[in-house]
Chain A
């Protein structure tokens, strides 16, 4: 039972990270109906930017707690801003010129952008993986059965709490942003009918750009969390994380923000339980199979609306 709870905590943590990335996919798909294939690599760039900032600011585990928190907040904000520029640039260069072109064109430039980003980072930052000393260690022990000799102590680390709290806060913030602000209203309008929205005076290009900026900055948060949680990144992490987050977005119902979060949690849990109880080697197969199964049997996802194909 303890093992189960431990896996549950780990799964929720991993799921939060996937959920943050999945929001980027789901927002972009909702608004322009394309799979932003390069989003996983934007997440990877975000992780690298966070790593560079942490090393450049000289943050270590020895930094006093208050300073550490301030510095991490600074890293978070800077990484979000700088990654947002990457997201904006990819949209501006690779997707915007192709708006109104045939459907597969932006998907192909997205693949090109993904390959270019990966290799750019490989060249500029080196192909070796980058280990980072853990900054936040320690945690609570939720059960004391370890003293009995037999059992297995359920641990929840401060890092996991941090990830879950930050994710919940950001989710709440973004839900507010989408539901209450004029920007969110513009986004929802573009999602429903782009032409009508532009007739009503909404700057559609700007709204789409801002969607990419928001998605990229959330991916940067996920990147920072990933970096702090696993402590090692390389230029290739974006591909798998991207596919899994996309699966999460599809599972939750693409275009739906709560769906993305729910899907992320489910994928995180499934992956952790799969590797905890079945086999570690095939955990990626599990994620890919879920993607295929969901798309085939339930393409509208858990919380999405079924898409009607119009002539």
Chain B
């Protein structure tokens, strides 16, 4: 027993030592020497302390992991995961959590106003709007990635098309938000079909790269077509939405005057919050209903196995196109909401990173899980804002989290799947992650 412990310790130290050595190789230059622009060329600032810290972190981190998790007979994680609720337990809880979350989302502005007053709740409402926008984008992308199993790395293109459609229609024709919203959705769906049509016969990762290319093409065109889109200057002065014709302005004919309230700028924020909440709920509702229709069943069948799908006579091209177009349409809705909320858009808001964030929300939340998207959006976007003071580190942490969560739980945080049809009339039980197999993606 003692000898075994010794070999365990020795092995762990050796392994950790190797880890430390690799870490030294990695960080000695990249952290230890920082090139600084100096007079007459570049100079180097040495930071050996930081390298020592980084190497020590890797060494001791690996040592502890080796001793207590990887090589241990009773891993600490086993104890921890024993305390955590089982994945299968979650699906029964989800029935309770989902309505609770919905009620919370609906009453949120009033709760905030009650506790913090108009002034204090403004930043939280702004954050809630941001999170809900990402929830909506996540749900839109979930149709493409989660249900139909098509990896789309250029989703932000449709978000951009929606935003620019509204901004340009308002600028050139003076259309109001409520006319533009459906138009923006239709235009985005149209673009989804145009871009989707040629690429959809590609397999998983090729499709991913082509969608990425299309996303970048749209951004570069927006950036360089100066006469039409304003190029890098973007479009400003985008009109705000009205509440059934009532503007959120001070004085006669405004929203506050009509309802006999004192004018407060928070009214507009609350209105915007409900607007995006409504849009998001519509997205969710449509998705959930579509799942039960033949086309939704075809999406999921396609995700599981494309070849089997084709042998059963499903038109895979049409199935993929509908998923692509619908996902794009919801992206377009979210885009025009984004334009009207910001009042200003530029190509800067539609970079690849944005696509990656939305994709991360979908994937980390659990592919195909609607509630997973909500949780991931709240945690990630909320977390981003929470760690505002560590601004420069947050994308680094984001990237690392994407890797770590994927390695730890390749099917996302909420990986149980609710079958859309069951044999018995009884309650549908979630299918745990280890029972589902992914097809060709």
Contacts and interface: CB of A to CB of B under 8 A. Distances in A.
Interface of A: 34-35, 45, 48-49, 51-53, 55-56, 60, 82, 85-86, 88-89, 93-94, 97-98, 101-105, 107-109, 111-126, 128, 130-133, 239, 243, 246, 250, 281-282, 284-285, 288-289, 291-292, 295-296, 299, 309, 311
Given A103-B205, A111-B356, A295-B199, A49 B30 contact: yes
Interface string B341-365: 0000000000011001001100100
B435 interface: no
Nearest to B223: A281
A133 B393 CA distance: 31
Among A89, A102, A114, A121, find the residue whose CB has the most chain B CB atoms closer than 10 A. Answer: A102
Given A124-B34, A239-B352, A292-B199, A119 B396 contact: yes
A82 B403 contact: no
Contacts of B43: 55
Contact of A296 (B31, B210, B398, B440): B210
Contact of A103 (B42, B202, B440): B440
A116 B202 contact: no
B167 to A, nearest CB: 21
A301 B339 CA distance: 41
A130 B35 contact: yes
A309 B396 contact: no
B406 A289 contact: no
12 contacts: A34-B205, A52-B30, A89-B26, A103-B205, A109-B407, A115-B402, A123-B392, A124-B34, A128-B37, A292-B199, A292-B213, A299-B202
* Size bracket of the B interface: 35 or more
A116 B400 contact: yes
Nearest to B355: A111
B401 A112 contact: yes
4 closest residue pairs by CB, A with B: A112-B402, A116-B399, A115-B399, A102-B438
B33 interface: yes
B402 A107 contact: no
A53 B203 CA distance: 42
A94 B356 contact: no
A53 B29 contact: yes
B34 A56 contact: no
Given A116-B399, A130-B42, A285-B217, A104 B210 contact: no
B363 to A, nearest CB: 5
A108 B223 CA distance: 27
Interface in B1-56: 22, 25-26, 28-31, 33-37, 41-44
Nearest to A280: B224
A292 B42 CA distance: 40
B293 interface: no
B400 A51 contact: no
A291 B210 CA distance: 7
A243 B392 contact: no
Contacts of A131: 37, 42
Contacts of A115: 353, 356, 395-396, 398-399, 402
A125 B25 contact: no
B192 to A, nearest CB: 15
B204 A291 contact: no
Interface string B196-217: 0011011111101110111011
A108 B402 contact: yes
Contacts of A311: 307
